[in-house]
């Protein structure tokens, strides 16, 4: 066992006084010397935390000891060092932002697509009557996705409801949704059922669980994760790289944020171009007076930006999957 671990998890379960719970939970995590990001909402928990293996074990035991979260499925990665710098636990209106808070439409505790275990997903994925639907954002599926998956052109998950009309041609098929850890599928599959798709399934535990349990067969590229690792290997059966450097077009699976904080664009860049452009996406950004020091990772702690400057960041300010 590695000295450190990173835990990915979510649980849809109503939390009374969720804002206070978030404050208390932050202190609990700090008492265990954990780092990470947790979102707390009235509807449940969504988190990635990291620390030494003993602290992670205590955390999982404590979470599952709470009757509200006893069914939480933790995805555990051994890591060389903690995957975050600080510990954040914040209250928000949803644990994954969909913009749909009407419980008559979206209520993962009552109605979702049928959960498929990784082995069942692997058996179904190549059938002619099945469509594999990626419900993640562009920057996530650009670096890795299942072979022949249908992807949607969206910057974030809250755009998913407006994209459903594009899927109408698949209503006579079995739809299987997938995402990183499963949380987006709970809402995506529920919305598809509400919109009249008759047979909807979801990959239980997402890409991460699929990789751990059945070797990640037919997942092409790497899986984007919301921590300092940025992307992780999934496929140990038939791996293939699919992403290319934005600047030169060579094959690369390295994803970074532009070193210019006023751009902060999230994109794939090979090490050669990273060196030439000093971690920037262009010569213009390379010469920007506020350009950050590039250490070869392209991962930066979020910094304040001038008023009215829109951030393009995905790695530092996005919600967890």
In the set 11, 29, 179, 258, the catalytic residue is 179
For residue 115, the cross-strand partners are 202
Closest to 280 (Cα-Cα) out of 263, 261, 258, 254: 258
**Among all chains, which residue has been given the structure tokens 């990772």?**
297
Residue 248 sits at φ, ψ, to 5 deg, of -120, -10
**DSSP codes, 145-191:** EETT-B----SSGGGHHHHGGGGGGGTTSEEEEE-SSSHHHHHHHHH
Residue 302 sits at φ, ψ, to 5 deg, of -60, 135
Closest to 219 (Cα-Cα) out of 204, 206, 200, 205: 206
Is 218:233 a contact under the CB 8 Å cutoff? no
Q: Give the contacts of 235 (CB within 8 A, at least 6 positions apart).
A: 211, 215, 216, 217, 218, 219, 220
The CA-based dihedral angle spanning residues 215, 36, 295, 304, taken in that order and rounded to the nearest 10 degrees: 140
Residue 292 sits at φ, ψ, to 5 deg, of -80, 160
Residue 201 sits at φ, ψ, to 5 deg, of -125, 170
Task: Give catalytic status of residue 179 as yes or no.
Answer: yes
Please tell me the distance from the alpha carbon of residue 108 to that of residue 89, in angstroms, as a whole number: 22
Q: Mind telling me the catalytic residues?
A: 179
């Amino acid at each position: 066992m590695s000295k450190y671990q990173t835990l990915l998890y979510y649980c849809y379960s109503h939390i009374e006084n969720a804002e206070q719970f978030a404050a208390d939970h932050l202190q609990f995590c700090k008492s265990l010397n954990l780092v990470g990001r947790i979102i707390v909402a009235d509807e449940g928990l969504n988190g990635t935390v990291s620390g030494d293996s003993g602290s992670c074990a205590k955390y999982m035991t404590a979470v599952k000891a709470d009757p509200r979260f006893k069914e939480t499925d933790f995805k555990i990665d051994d890591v060389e060092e903690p995957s975050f710098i600080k510990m954040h636990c914040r209250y928000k209106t949803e644990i994954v932002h969909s913009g749909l808070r009407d419980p008559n439409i979206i209520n993962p505790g009552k109605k979702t697509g049928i959960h498929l275990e990784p082995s069942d997903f692997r058996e179904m994925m190549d059938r002619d009557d099945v469509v594999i639907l990626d419900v993640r954002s562009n920057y996530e599926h650009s670096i890795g996705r299942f072979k022949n998956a249908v992807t949607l052109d969206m910057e974030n998950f809250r755009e998913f409801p407006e994209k459903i009309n594009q899927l109408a041609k698949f209503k006579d098929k079995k739809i299987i949704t997938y995402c990183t850890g499963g949380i987006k599928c709970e809402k995506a599959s529920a919305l598809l059922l509400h919109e009249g798709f008759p047979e909807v399934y979801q990959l239980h535990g997402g890409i991460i669980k699929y990789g751990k349990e059945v070797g990640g067969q037919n997942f092409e590229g790497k899986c984007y994760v919301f921590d300092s690792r940025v992307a992780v290997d999934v496929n140990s059966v038939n791996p293939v790289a699919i992403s290319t450097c934005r600047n030169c077009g060579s094959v690369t699976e390295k994803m970074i944020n532009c070193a210019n904080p006023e751009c902060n664009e999230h994109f794939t860049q090979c090490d050669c171009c990273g060196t030439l452009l000093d971690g920037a996406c262009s010569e213009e950004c390379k010469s920007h007076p506020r350009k950050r020091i590039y250490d070869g990772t392209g991962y930066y702690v979020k910094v304040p930006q001038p008023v009215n400057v829109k951030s393009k960041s995905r790695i530092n300010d996005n919600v967890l999957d």
